[in-house]
Amino acid sequence: MPLSLPDYYAVLGVPTTAELEHIRSAYRRLVRLYHPDVNRQERDGSSIKRINEAYAVLSDPMRRASYDIQLLEERKRAIIIGLIVQQRERILHRPKRMTWAEGAQGFVRELKRGIRGES
């Protein structure tokens, strides 16, 4: 199973319908906040790498369209797998049906109760 895609929209803190200007302003704000020269706690630069990667994908219209399609396919696959698991659980936890012999025994038992006058 392929690895799940990172949510670049969440990395930049923009909605999926954001326009390029909104993406660019969010990118610039985050770069100023997490740049290793400014933020001494970010020595490894992992945050800035994620931000740069997200901006590279979302700022290019072709890469963004490809990413959006992959994201939709991943969400669709997750929904389908969830439905299959639910259906399997429903089937596995279905109450057992009565066999013919059990039904006949129950019928005879009820007939005997009716004859004796029990309720």
Q: Tens digits of per-residue pLDDT, 76-115?
A: 999 999 999 999 998 888 888 889 999 999 999 998 888 8
Give the mean model confidence (pLDDT) for residues 39-52. 80
DSSP result, 63-109 = HHHHHHHHHHHHHHHHHHHHHHHHHHHHHHTSPPPPPHHHHHHHHHH
Residue 35 pLDDT grade (very low, low, confident, very high; cuts 50, 70, 90): confident
Q: What is the per-residue pLDDT across 8-33, written as a single tens digit (0 to 9) for each?
A: 999 999 999 999 999 999 999 999 88
* 116 has a pLDDT exceeding 50: yes
Spell out the residues 6+ positions from residue 38 whose beta carbon is closer than 8 angstroms to its own: 32
H/E run at residue 12: helix 8-12
Spatial CB neighbours of 71, under 8 Å, sequence gap ≥ 6:
5, 7
Share of the chain above pLDDT 70, in %: 93
Q: Which domains are seen in the chain, by residue range?
A: 8-116 (1.10.287.110)
Read off the amino acid at residue 52. N
**With bands split at pLDDT 50, 70 and 90, how would you rate the model's confidence at 51?**
very high
What's the pLDDT at 1? 47
What pLDDT was estimated at residue 3?
61
**pLDDT over 90 percentage in the chain:** 60
Rounded to two decimals, the pTM is 0.66
